[in-house]
């Protein structure tokens, strides 16, 4: 196995362990970065389109839930800038993403077809994962999106392993692993990042810190002021970032990803966000969060802030917004229809993919079910 010679990073714009979260946009949408913005208009607009699509998709999920088409949803509203920023920072289809269950925004921005997303949510044949998981579990082999698991933090050691394989094989890829603030209390989180740091693997660990693990607030989760400073324990940089600023999410993630790609090892990126909705459709957040707090964060909405930025640069208009909303609504409605049209997952698929080849005990059970259904 050959290890490819990797370039040294030329520019590092961001300092780790800042007191204040790194932001590149003011609340009014002014660029406050101290380096030149180097993104073209197409990408600047795409970031907005993706965020809007995530917001509208989140609303769709709630509608599907209320109409009884899905059993569960994990609201993403408030996380759009973080997820879309990270997704655009990695090389789509080349780098690997290790998402958690609130990351359909990440999956959408990475290019998972809507019909696959809704197919997975509803559990139809349109789901390349064959209806095996409850809603909100992204997975796509062609896009290198590792199948999400419900068990908090369990995907983080595999991210380290994939990154170690990338290093050993010299593929020039990076593994980007996302998780919530609750995950940082799991032993697997520590074990995985520690191993990644020791081996200097090309990985970036991204915390979407929305301040709550279901009902447990940040103050009951950890005594550290930030998640980013936990990186000190691993000997890697930790970046404390305003995750409701899509450009900050994008640029910091991009720098961390390219550092990793260049052989400088992993980083921890904390994107401070807020979950507008409850933890999931099975949760009632009014029992633990004052409405005023939710309202306060909603006023810092990532879409509104970024819209102001685009407007300042003549990249947003009410007409464009109206068109986008129509387009996205139509695409999503069509995708839901196509996902449903694909039909139910056959009962016998239950027995496939447990192993590469069928084992006798499973084949007997398949026959038993077949007989029962006839």
Alpha helices, H only, 134-217: 156-169, 187-199
Burial annotation 324-349 (CB, 10 A radius, 16+ → b, else e): beeebeeebeebbebbbebeebeeee
The residue among 268 and 272 lying less far from another protein, judged by its C-beta, is 268
Contacting range for another protein; rule: CB under 8 A; set: 22-30, 222-230, 286-294, 346-354: 346-354
Pick 47 or 207: Cβ nearer another protein: 207
Under rule CB under 8 A, residue 360 binds another protein: yes
What whole-number distance in Å separates Cα of residue 134 and Cα of residue 101?
Answer: 10
264 is catalytic: no
279 assigned to active site: yes
- CB-based contacts of 167, cutoff 8 Å, min separation 6: 3, 199, 200, 201, 202
How far apart are the C-alpha atoms of 200 and 347, rounded to whole Å? 45
- The least distance separating another protein from the CB of residue 345, rounded to whole angstroms, comes to 10
The verdict on 188 binding another protein (CB under 8 A) reads yes
**By the rule CB under 8 A, 162 interacts with another protein:** yes
91 is a catalytic site residue: no
Which of these is catalytic: 92, 200, 288, 366? 288
Q: Which of 275, 276, 289, 305 is catalytic?
A: 275
Question: DSSP assignment, residue 31?
Answer: B
Cα(12)–Cα(10) distance, integer angstroms? 7
Q: Which of 137, 155, 211, 279 is catalytic?
A: 279
Q: Is 369 a residue that touches another protein (CB under 8 A)?
A: no
Site stretch for another protein (CB under 8 A), options 24-32, 35-43, 192-200, 308-316: 192-200
Is 210 one of the binding residues for another protein (CB under 8 A)? no
Mention every residue, 6+ apart, whose C-beta is less than 8 A from residue 22: 14, 239, 240, 241, 242, 248, 252
Residues 86 and 249 sit within 8 Å (Cβ to Cβ): yes
C-alpha closest to that of 70 among 84, 58, 82? 58
Q: Supply the minimum distance, in Å, between the C-beta of residue 9 and another protein.
A: 23
* Residue 368 binds another protein, judged by CB under 8 A: no
The verdict on 354 binding another protein (CB under 8 A) reads: yes
Catalytic residue set: 275, 279, 288
Residues that bind another protein (CB under 8 A): 1, 3, 96, 127-130, 132-133, 137, 139-141, 146-147, 149, 151, 154-166, 168-169, 175, 187-188, 191-192, 194-195, 198-199, 352-356, 359-361
């Amino acid at each position: 196995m050959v290890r490819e010679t990797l370039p040294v990073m030329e520019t590092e714009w961001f300092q780790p362990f800042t007191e204040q979260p790194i932001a590149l946009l003011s609340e009014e949408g002014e660029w406050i970065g101290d380096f030149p913005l180097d993104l073209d208009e197409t990408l600047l607009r795409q970031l907005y389109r993706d965020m809007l699509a995530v917001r509208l998709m989140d609303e769709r999920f709630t509608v599907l839930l209320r109409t009884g088409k899905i059993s569960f949803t994990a609201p993403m509203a408030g996380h759009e800038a973080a997820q879309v920023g990270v997704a655009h920072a990695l090389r789509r289809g080349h780098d690997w993403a290790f998402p958690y269950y609130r990351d359909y925004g990440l999956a959408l921005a990475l290019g998972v077809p809507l019909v696959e997303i809704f197919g997975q949510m509803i559990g139809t044949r349109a789901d390349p994962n064959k209806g095996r998981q409850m809603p909100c579990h992204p997975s796509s082999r062609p896009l290198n999106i590792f199948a999400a698991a419900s068990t908090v933090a369990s995907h983080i050691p595999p991210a380290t392993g994939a990154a170690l394989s990338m290093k050993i094989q010299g593929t020039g890829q990076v593994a980007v692993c996302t998780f919530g603030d609750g995950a940082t209390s799991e032993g697997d989180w520590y074990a995985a990042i520690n191993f990644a740091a020791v081996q200097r693997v090309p990985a970036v660990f991204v915390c979407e810190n929305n301040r709550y693990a279901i009902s447990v607030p940040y103050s009951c989760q950890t005594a550290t002021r930030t998640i980013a400073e936990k990186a000190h324990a691993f000997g890697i940089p930790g970046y404390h970032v305003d995750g409701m600023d899509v450009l900050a999410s994008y640029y910091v993630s991009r720098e961390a990803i390219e550092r990793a790609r260049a052989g400088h090892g992993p980083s921890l990126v904390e994107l401070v966000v807020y979950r507008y909705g409850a933890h999931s459709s099975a949760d009632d957040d009014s029992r633990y969060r004052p409405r005023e707090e939710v309202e306060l964060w909603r006023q810092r909405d990532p879409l509104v802030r970024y819209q102001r930025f685009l407007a300042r640069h003549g990249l947003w208009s009410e007409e464009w917004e109206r068109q986008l909303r129509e387009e996205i609504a139509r695409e999503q409605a069509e995708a839901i229809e196509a996902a449903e049209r694909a039909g139910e997952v056959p009962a016998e698929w239950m027995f496939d993919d447990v192993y590469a080849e069928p084992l006798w005990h499973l084949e007997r059970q398949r026959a038993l079910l077949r007989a029962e259904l006839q």
